[in-house]
């Protein structure tokens, strides 16, 4: 059995706590490796090494730090297939999906190459008599990130790339379910020229999380995961005086207006609802057609598309639409919620509960499911399923559809499909959700804009990547400077003239 490591001080280090988590092959259900779970002492040792390495890196000019990012981008492209294969083998997502995971992280690294421009301060000449005023953006010191299983390449890069570009050291605590790619990324960062000790990967569970939140040297913490854990991390981190940004769960609605192109809307729902087995915080899990006629036409378009979806292991290549979910526990939770939907009266139009794949009977595969006539009081509407399940909630009017999305406690992403520019403009202006798509099913902003939800999908005041990342990983210092000049009298400076 392969035993994974931490990455501390530029070296692979075996765990010493004696505790391990199983890392599965989701397609077969077999344990393929053991991931060490760090103790508080192991985490604190990594922080000490990072703190010792950070001052020299923080004093390195931004252009040189940007060159490390440039080389890292080259290495990511060089090793794209190798990284994607490792990612798929532990997570289960298809090979193209795994490459997309890496690519979206890579784009944030590319944005961070602009650090010399993004870290420029402000200057006011002559703010007063002989007085100049300027600001500096300086690194925090040591930052940390706690990242989820569903994007084991993208989200770590969303955090450590801007943190390092700003001059910080970074402690990464990735998911123990698929930890290999974060370890590989740390190796590549050092191959790109990052000095040792600046990017540490410490695997772990709640013990490591609490050690991060309680360590006084760590100045900021980023988190992506479920809403209850986001609330816990935000509260404990803030009470310990840290800067914290936490991104929680989602229940993303797509409004389908009667004038929408129904083929386009159906294609978008299938891709956004079932891609990556629904294990995306930006997955569309609720379709809201406006009017029964719209709903009937939508269901008619959806059913044959969903029934044609191919589910299988990533080794099947491009012939697979999505793979298994990450663990047996995840599969059990999804199937339990599906049964609750049936028990509470939703109409199960496409039933994938009996799905089985020959040769992979022990894998964590879940067939595609489509519910119709879901109501807001049902568990499948209230909870984030995080699986290949799409719920249809029929709305009698646009206002009712809008209210559904606005009343839900989560506010990560939403979309509207329509040919009516006025309806789209009104929707974008009024909706209380952080990311909005107009005829775009998964409205994830590109790297030079910021990513973040509203309501219980996000805790904190600064979003991920884009300009907000450079604000989050720096603190601003403002300097008011006066250099008074003496008036020469007889070859001497008359300092009294300066009073």
- CATH code of the domain containing 374: 3.40.309.10
Is 22 part of a structural domain of the chain?
yes
pLDDT of residue 73 exceeding 50, the answer is yes
Residues 83 and 172 in one domain: yes
**pLDDT value for 499:** 47
Q: Does residue 399 contact residue 255 with C-beta atoms inside 8 Å? A: no
pLDDT-derived band of residue 498, with 50, 70 and 90 as boundaries? very low
Is 414 part of a structural domain of the chain?
yes
The count of other CB atoms within 10 Å of the CB of residue 400 is 13
**pLDDT value for 395:** 98
- Closest CA relative to residue 87, chosen from 141, 34, 25: 25
Residues 179 and 256 in one domain: no
In this prediction, residues 222-233 reach a mean pLDDT of 97
Residues 224 and 301 in one domain: no
- Closest CA relative to residue 368, chosen from 354, 384, 358, 347: 354
The count of other CB atoms within 10 Å of the CB of residue 356 is 9
pLDDT of residue 128 exceeding 80, the answer is yes
Q: Among positive and negative, which fits the CA dihedral 332, 337, 338, 344?
A: positive
Average pLDDT, the chain: 95
Please give the structure tokens belonging to residue 10: 């530029």
DSSP per-residue string spanning 267-304: HHHHHHHHGGGG--TT-EEEEEEBSHHHHHHHHHHHHH
Please give the structure tokens belonging to residue 155: 């989200």
3-class DSSP assignment, residue 154 = helix
Residue span of the structural domain in which 82 resides: 2-248+466-480
Residues 242 and 165 in one domain: yes
In this prediction, residues 41-63 reach a mean pLDDT of 98
Is 488 part of a structural domain of the chain?
no
Is 57 part of a structural domain of the chain?
yes
In this prediction, residues 85-100 reach a mean pLDDT of 96
In this prediction, residues 180-191 reach a mean pLDDT of 98
Q: Does residue 181 contact residue 160 with C-beta atoms inside 8 Å? A: no
Residues 50 and 190 in one domain: yes
pLDDT of residue 204 exceeding 80, the answer is yes
Characterise 18 by phi-psi region: left (phi > 0), alpha (psi -120 to 50), beta (else).
left
pLDDT tens track for 346-362: 999 999 999 999 999 99
Q: What's the domain count of the chain?
A: 2
Is 445 part of a structural domain of the chain?
no
Catalytic residue among 35, 166, 246, 281: 281
- What is the C-alpha separation between 386 and 338, in angstroms, rounded? 11
In this prediction, residues 400-404 reach a mean pLDDT of 98
In this prediction, residues 266-286 reach a mean pLDDT of 96
- What is the C-alpha separation between 309 and 367, in angstroms, rounded? 9
Residues 58 and 97 in one domain: yes
Pairing of strands 142-146, 218-224: parallel
Is 97 part of a structural domain of the chain?
yes
165 to 119, 140, 187, 367, 410: CA distances (angstroms): 9, 12, 17, 42, 32
**pLDDT value for 34:** 98
Residue count of the chain, please give it.
499
3-class DSSP assignment, residue 94 = coil
Q: Does residue 83 contact residue 91 with C-beta atoms inside 8 Å? A: no
pLDDT-derived band of residue 59, with 50, 70 and 90 as boundaries? very high
- What is the C-alpha separation between 61 and 217, in angstroms, rounded? 23
pLDDT tens track for 288-329: 999 999 999 999 999 999 999 999 999 998 889 999 999 999
- Residue 36 sits in a domain whose CATH number is 3.40.605.10
3-class DSSP assignment, residue 370 = strand
CA 157 to chain centroid? 9
**pLDDT value for 301:** 98
Is 184 part of a structural domain of the chain?
yes
- What is the C-alpha separation between 105 and 469, in angstroms, rounded? 14
pLDDT-derived band of residue 487, with 50, 70 and 90 as boundaries? low
In this prediction, residues 122-148 reach a mean pLDDT of 95
pLDDT of residue 497 exceeding 50, the answer is no
Could you tell me what percentage of the chain is helix, strand and coil, using 3-state DSSP and rounding each to the nearest 5?
A: 40, 25, 35
In this prediction, residues 407-415 reach a mean pLDDT of 96
pLDDT-derived band of residue 496, with 50, 70 and 90 as boundaries? low
- Closest CA relative to residue 134, chosen from 498, 482, 486: 482
pLDDT-derived band of residue 21, with 50, 70 and 90 as boundaries? very high
**pLDDT value for 106:** 98
The count of other CB atoms within 10 Å of the CB of residue 484 is 11
281 included as an active-site residue: yes
Is 497 part of a structural domain of the chain?
no
pLDDT-derived band of residue 40, with 50, 70 and 90 as boundaries? very high
- What is the C-alpha separation between 353 and 439, in angstroms, rounded? 31
Residues 354 and 418 in one domain: yes
Residues 471 and 407 in one domain: no
Residues 347 and 425 in one domain: yes
Residues 224 and 286 in one domain: no
In this prediction, residues 432-456 reach a mean pLDDT of 96
Please give the structure tokens belonging to residue 252: 């993303």
In a 10 Å sphere around its CB, with 0-12 CB exposed, 13-18 middle and 19+ buried, how is residue 228 labelled?
exposed
- What is the C-alpha separation between 150 and 142, in angstroms, rounded? 25
- What is the C-alpha separation between 65 and 112, in angstroms, rounded? 9
Residues 307 and 200 in one domain: no
In this prediction, residues 211-221 reach a mean pLDDT of 98
**pLDDT value for 492:** 57
pLDDT of residue 278 exceeding 60, the answer is yes
- What is the C-alpha separation between 183 and 199, in angstroms, rounded? 10
Pairing of strands 20-25, 30-36: antiparallel
- Closest CA relative to residue 371, chosen from 400, 395, 392: 392
- What is the C-alpha separation between 312 and 104, in angstroms, rounded? 24
CA angle 446, 259, 300 (to 5 degrees): 95
Residues 118 and 207 in one domain: yes
Residue with tokens 């939403």, as numbered in its chain: 414
């Amino acid at each position: 059995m392969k035993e994974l490591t931490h990455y501390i001080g530029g070296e692979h280090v075996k765990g010493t706590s004696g505790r391990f988590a199983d890392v599965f092959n989701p397609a077969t259900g077999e344990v393929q490796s053991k991931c060490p779970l760090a103790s508080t002492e192991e985490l604190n040792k990594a922080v000490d090494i990072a703190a010792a390495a950070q001052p020299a890196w923080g004093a390195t000019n931004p252009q040189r730090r940007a060159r490390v990012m440039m080389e890292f981008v080259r290495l990511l492209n060089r090793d794209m297939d190798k990284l994607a294969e490792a990612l798929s083998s532990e997570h289960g997502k298809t090979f193209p999906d795994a490459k997309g995971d890496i690519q979206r992280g890579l784009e944030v690294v590319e944005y961070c190459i602009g650090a010399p421009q993004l870290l420029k301060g402000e200057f006011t000449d002559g703010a007063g008599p002989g007085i100049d005023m300027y600001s500096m953006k300086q690194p925090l010191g040591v930052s940390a990130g706690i990242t989820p299983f569903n994007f084991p390449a993208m989200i770590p890069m969303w955090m450590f790339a801007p943190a390092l570009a700003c001059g910080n050291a970074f402690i990464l605590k990735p998911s123990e379910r698929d930890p290999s790619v974060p370890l590989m990324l740390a190796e590549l960062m050092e191959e790109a020229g990052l000095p040792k000790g600046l990017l540490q990967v410490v695997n772990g569970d709640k013990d490591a999380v609490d050690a991060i939140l309680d360590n006084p040297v760590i100045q900021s913490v980023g988190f992506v995961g479920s809403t209850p854990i986001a609330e816990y991390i935000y509260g404990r981190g803030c009470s310990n005086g840290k800067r914290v940004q936490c991104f929680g769960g989602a229940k993303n609605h797509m409004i389908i207006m009667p004038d929408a192109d129904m083929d386009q809307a159906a294609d978008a729902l299938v891709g956004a609802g079932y891609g990556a087995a629904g294990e995306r915080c930006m997955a569309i899990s609720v379709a809201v057609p406006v009017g029964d006629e719209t709903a009937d036409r939508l269901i008619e378009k959806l059913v044959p598309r969903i029934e044609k979806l191919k589910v299988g292991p990533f080794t099947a290549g491009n012939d697979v639409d999505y793979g298994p979910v990450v663990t047996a526990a995840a599969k059990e939770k999804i199937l339990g919620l599906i049964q609750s939907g049936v028990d509470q009266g939703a109409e199960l139009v496409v039933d994938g509960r009996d799905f089985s794949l020959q040769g992979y009977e022990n894998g964590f595969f879940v067939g595609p499911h489509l519910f119709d006539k879901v109501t807001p009081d049902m568990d499948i509407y209230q909870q984030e399923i995080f699986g290949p399940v799409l719920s249809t909630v029929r709305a009698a009017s646009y206002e009712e559809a809008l209210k559904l999305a606005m009343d839900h406690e989560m506010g990560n992403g939403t979309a509207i499909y329509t040919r009516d520019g006025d309806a789209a403009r009104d929707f974008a202006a009024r909706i209380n959700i952080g990311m909005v798509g107009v005829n775009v099913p998964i409205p994830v902003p590109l790297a030079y804009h910021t990513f973040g939800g509203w309501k219980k999908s996000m805790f904190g005041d600064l979003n991920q990547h884009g300009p907000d990342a450079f604000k989050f990983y720096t603190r601003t210092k403002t300097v008011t400077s006066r250099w008074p000049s003496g008036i020469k009298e007889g070859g001497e400076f008359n300092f009294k003239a300066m009073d």
